[in-house]
Structure 1
Amino acid sequence: MIRRDPVKRLNVGLVLVAFVLSLFAGRLVQLQGIESKGYAEAAVRQRLNRIDLPAVRGPISFADGQPLAMTVDARVIYADPVMVEAGQRQRIASTLASMFGLDQAELLKKLTPSSKMNRYVELVHHVEPDRARMVTQMGFKGIGSLQEYRRVYPGGDLAANVAGFVNSNGDGGAGLESSMNTMLKGKSGWQKVELSETGQRIPMGEDEMSKPIPGKGIRLTLDRDIQWKAQDAIAKQVKATGAQSGSVIVMDPRNGQVIAMATTPTFDPAHYLKSPEANWGNRVVQEGFEPGSTSKVITAAAAMEAGGVTPATPFTVPGTLTRYDRTFHDSEAHGIEHLTFGGVLAKSSNIGTILASERVTATQLYQYMRAFGYGEDTGIGLPGDSEGILKPVDQWWGTDRYAIAFGQSVSVTALQVASVYATIANGGVRVTPNIIAGTLDDKGTLTPSARPSSRRVIKQSTASDLTRMLEGVTSKDGTAPEAQISGYRVAGKTGTAQKVNPDCRCYTGGGYTSTFVGFAPAENPQLVVEVVLQKPQKGYYGGEVAAPVFKDVMSFALQSRRIPPSGSKSPKIRIYADHR
């Protein structure tokens, strides 16, 4: 047997060892030298986690500073799927699903590590701090909580249609929360931190932060107590009359400020998904309707300023009036009546109003309607503020001008009508309606809103004559004695407008829009209140179903604002004209 040379075997072994070591050395050079930066960055990325830092959403408050919408401390429950023990995933998913009403399968999916190796997964948002502590004290490995914020509405549905709500993504979904979302929301920040395999922050690891910028707040002109009264009163009347919906608006005619804006049915902004989407909007600025007789004051203003009509001008009012192919009627059948123009307005005569409107041209009537604010948004700045419908004169056909004169063939919103009466109450000067008193910074410092624009619409003397005539509406001979308030002179107007039936595009079977709008004290107007009821089933005349709500809300507002009673009695308005 020939033995191999041991020296030779040793040399071969050394060569093989040297070759292997050279491979390791080359790989080491590759890892620590050539590609070290890339691997280091990959390692950091694997440990690095980005956490969003939400900004504090600005509050929305009533005129006295009481909160309408505010942001409170909350927690987000999160998981590190890598740290969650496999045997605990099902139990954790089941526990959180039962506590917060979540989908257990979806939670289990989030708790299971994925190929992306995400070390931070959000499970539940807007958790009250006490409930979050309950979760963390259960001792589930890989489950923790971080601070965030939650939107709350202390008054529940109070002024909900003005405020709106914040959706699950943290953005405004309706009302001012939506239209002012960017300002209220502020700017979110973020933080990047490095975590070890056990989920602990690495002390000397990378730690970047962009601080959130708090949102600004909004101070409204709404009076909390009067808002509550308006909302309560219209809700009760909608229920009592079987109406489809109802609205109330209270304004200060001197500065255009909206003191209350209520609509029903409404919703709870903290649980908005429990209410129909139709209830989320603001009917006061979004819902269009034919105003009916409340619009007659514009025709009256035009007739008085451009047609030479005065409150004492006599009109012979027949039982029916035919113009072209259409015969017009008043709300109640009557024989020939001899009325003053003041009597025409007090008795809300359609025929008398048509006769007065013939003293001016169609163009003049249109111009006065535009001057009072028909056919344009009110300028209040609320989302969905509708322009209504007022066709240009060249699109008026046949008998349009006669129907428009007493409030048909034109569409308006409740706020547009309230603004008309605020203009008369303010001596003929229209002040743009406004509801935002100012903005608040994160320290609570108020920056007042710019003064609203204004324009003269009619002469002061015309406004005074109209006011005296509107006082006749609330007299025993007018259509709304139910609107009288003891100790105060009240001026106002009823409206009972037939609604168009979409099935036949006619007025048969469409129901009614019942309205009353007025102001007090008539000799020194400080408050305007308008009430609108859509499709009431138990009574439908504005003086019957809307005027009592006006009286209820106006009486409360006068007392709440400590406005003294009138120092004089209403002037006698001559209703009937002498005839021989």
Structure 2
Amino acid sequence: MADVSTTSKPKRRSPLRRLRERLSVKNSFVSRLKPIVGIFLVGVILLSVRLVDLQVVRADTLSETAVQHRSRTYTLPAERGQILDANGNVLAVSRERYNVAVNQNLIEEYVRRDEEGNVIGRGAPAAAAVLSPILDIEEPRLAGILYGGEKKSTWRYIARDISPEVWRQINSYGIPGIEPEQFMRREYPNNRVGASTLGFLGEDDAGNIGGQAGIERTMDDVLTGEDGSLTVEISRSGAVIPTGRTIEEPATHGASVTLTSDVDLQYALDETLQRSVEEQGAEWGSAIAIEVATGRVLALSDTHTFDPENPDAGGSIGSRAVQTPVEPGSSGKLMTFAMTLDQDAVTPLTLFPVSSTITMPNGETIRDNDPHPSENMTVAGILAKSYNTGLIQIGDTISDETRYDYMKAFGIGERTGIELPAESPGILSHYTTWGDRTRYTTMFGQAYALTTAQLGQMVATIGNDGVRNDLHIIDSITYADGTVEPTIVDDPVQVLDPETSEEMLGLMQAVTESGSTGYYARIPGYNVAGKTGTAQMADETGQLNDRVGTFAGLIPAEDPQIAIAVVVYNGNGPGYGSETAAPVFGEFGAFAVRHLGIPPSTTPLVQYPWTETELNYAEGEGLLTEGGTYREYTDR
């Protein structure tokens, strides 16, 4: 029997089963969607946190950072304080100057119009047409600089070191992209006058600008102000955003320094000293004028000085008057005469036998510069003729220790107090180191050294009733807020009795008389008290071939107002102080008394008898005054 195949119908799913299947598919979709939703939610949360962080937590910081990125800070330079003379004349001043730059991205916005408002040019060519005659730059060349080509700069200099007046003229055109850079330039209106006192500005080893010599250096901290700043917001093109934040920190200007010196006296001393150095063929000269009663420096001069606005052009930097000690020669004898009188070891009329050559008890032989007859001379005559052979006999009346103490009291071996850099204290060895010959040479101005300033201080002490004042060249400091700080010096030192000072002034008046060494230091109408000096100095080989001529004196002798010391180094020939330094004293002194309004002398010139013969005659004829001076001289 054959097999019969049968076909069965598929079973139908129940509705419940179908529902379950649908739910299963849905659950599967949901389960796959959950991670996505979770990630999305996490992302939303993170973005929300980030948004809160940016807009709330760090909003101020981010805003500040954004401002900083679009900010530009300019320096507002502080003005360096002025240096003034005693009368308020400006010796050094900082002037406002400008550099001008172009933002080449903005220059094309410039539109030039005529008086009726019509456009007559645009961009760099139009700006060049306006600026070319002001800056004295050819118009095509300037247009090329302003345009800049494909690689434009936001800051390129087009002019440097122009005056405020020129900048205001440029700025009046309102050209977009033309921007200033302000700075201060140091100027010295009197050129080289007093340059060694004033100094100059320059860079130090670290590249900082500051005072490099003179007052500019010693008072640098006071003169230097503190720069301010101006911060503005700028756009990408470099233009200032008008509504942006502006922060200004004003500059604090430096203090002004008023000196004791007088620019007219300074000029006169500079000129007179330089002329003498040139006429004598000397290597250099220095001089100082001091107000006797106070120690105020009225003028201080050095030859061959520099141009303070261009110090690299040459000239001697610094001041030899305070930095270079020299042997004073016979000018230094003033101390020996003064100390022996002060010790009552001698009087102006004490007699000593004086010849051209003398051998002292310790075997040392001393000679005078020129041969002369032997005769008995008074202390006054020995000073007038400047005889070494007589002077060492006078000096031998007191001990070396006493002489050393007086020399220290006069300020030898110590700085004068003057406010200038690198001042030398001079050279003075202790008396216990003096040899047999040195003990005598120190009496007549050798074997020790002093500066021109110290020489002036020494003679000022004699003229100031024996009182030594510290020297000072700064009168006061005026700060930016108007506060004035006067200079306060150390207490004075009484070196000599006032009676000794008076005797010395009488002795020193004879130096300018005919037959004495200081004839060229005379000042018509005024009595002068002074002393010449000449000393041998070692040259580069160590040989005593150089000469230094000096003169130290006081005007007027009867009531000293001004002390003047002059040093001329290595003049032609013998280089005597009587020929090199005394004429500077005479010429400058004559100007100084007129300029300062010092009245002429009304008392006769004082002179003591010089020789035993004159002394005997004066005594016999009753011509000696009560003070021992020669009435024939005092009464004329």
TM-score band (shorter)?
A: 0.7 to 0.9
Q: 1:398 to 1:463 in 2, by over 3 A?
A: same
Q: What is aligned with 2:335?
A: 298
Q: How does 1:147-162 map to 2 (within 5 A)?
A: 147-162=182-197
How many residues of Structure 1 are paired with residues of Structure 2 in the alignment?
541
Residues 380, 608 of structure 2: 8 Å contact kept: yes
Deviation at 1:531, TM superposition (A): 1.6
> Which one-letter code corresponds to 2:591 in the other structure?
F
Q: 1:438 is paired with a residue of what secondary structure?
A: strand
Distance 1:486 1:547 in 2: 14
Q: What is aligned with 2:623?
A: none
Q: What is aligned with 2:622?
A: none
> Which one-letter code corresponds to 1:253 in the other structure?
V
Q: How does 1:276-295 map to 2 (within 5 A)?
A: 276=315, 279-295=316-332
Q: 1:397 to 1:77 in 2, by over 3 A?
A: farther
Q: How does 1:248-263 map to 2 (within 5 A)?
A: 248-263=287-302
Q: What is aligned with 2:497?
A: 459
Q: How does 1:119-518 map to 2 (within 5 A)?
A: 126-130=161-165, 132=167, 144-167=179-202, 169-276=208-315, 279-306=316-343, 308-322=345-359, 326-442=364-480, 446-450=484-488, 453-504=491-542, 506-507=543-544, 509=545, 511-518=546-553
TM-score (normalizing by structure 1) = 0.84
Instruction: Give structure 2 stretches of 5+ with no counterpart.
Output: 1-36, 109-123, 138-144, 617-636
Instruction: Give structure 1 stretches of 5+ with no counterpart.
Output: 1-17, 101-107
Q: 1:123 to 1:238 in 2, by over 3 A?
A: farther
Q: 2:581 is paired with a residue of what secondary structure?
A: helix
Do residues 576 (structure 1) and 611 (structure 2) align? yes
> Which one-letter code corresponds to 2:85 in the other structure?
F
Q: 2:309 is paired with a residue of what secondary structure?
A: helix
Deviates more, 1:521-530 or 1:39-48: 39-48
Deviation at 1:387, TM superposition (A): 0.5
Deviation at 1:328, TM superposition (A): 2.4
Deviation at 1:577, TM superposition (A): 2.5
Distance 2:46 2:178 in 1: 39
Q: 2:612 is paired with a residue of what secondary structure?
A: coil
Q: What is aligned with 2:561?
A: 526
Deviations, residues 418-467 of structure 1 (Å, cap 9, x unaligned): 01111111111112112112122336664433365312110111111111
Q: 1:309 to 1:325 in 2, by over 3 A?
A: closer
Q: 2:611 is paired with a residue of what secondary structure?
A: coil
Deviates more, 1:364-373 or 1:387-396: 387-396
> Which one-letter code corresponds to 2:87 in the other structure?
D
Distance 1:425 1:30 in 2: 89
Deviation at 1:82, TM superposition (A): 7.5
Residues 515, 542 of structure 1: 8 Å contact kept: yes
Q: 1:280 is paired with a residue of what secondary structure?
A: coil
Distance 1:113 1:367 in 2: 81
Q: What is aligned with 1:74?
A: 97
> Which one-letter code corresponds to 2:327 in the other structure?
E
- Structure exhibiting the larger radius of gyration computed from Cα positions: 2
Deviation at 1:499, TM superposition (A): 1.1
Q: 1:167 is paired with a residue of what secondary structure?
A: strand
Q: What is aligned with 2:632?
A: none
Residues 521, 566 of structure 1: 8 Å contact kept: yes
Distance 1:137 1:208 in 2: 24
Q: What is aligned with 1:544?
A: 579
Q: 1:172 to 1:119 in 2, by over 3 A?
A: farther
Deviations, residues 165-211 of structure 1 (Å, cap 9, x unaligned): 12265421211111101111121222322211122222343433322
Q: 1:209 is paired with a residue of what secondary structure?
A: strand
Residues 177, 239 of structure 2: 8 Å contact kept: no
User: Which structure has more RCO (C-alpha within 8 Å, separation ≥ 6)?
Assistant: 1
Residues 74, 126 of structure 1: 8 Å contact kept: yes
Q: 2:408 is paired with a residue of what secondary structure?
A: helix
Do residues 58 (structure 1) and 81 (structure 2) align? yes
Residues 126, 149 of structure 1: 8 Å contact kept: no
Distance 2:44 2:202 in 1: 58
Q: 1:245 to 1:204 in 2, by over 3 A?
A: same
Residues 429, 457 of structure 1: 8 Å contact kept: yes
Residues 82, 113 of structure 1: 8 Å contact kept: no
Deviation at 1:495, TM superposition (A): 0.8
Residues 307, 359 of structure 1: 8 Å contact kept: no
Residues 307, 360 of structure 1: 8 Å contact kept: no
Residues 301, 466 of structure 1: 8 Å contact kept: yes
Q: 1:296 is paired with a residue of what secondary structure?
A: helix
TM-score (normalizing by structure 2) = 0.77
Distance 1:113 1:448 in 2: 61
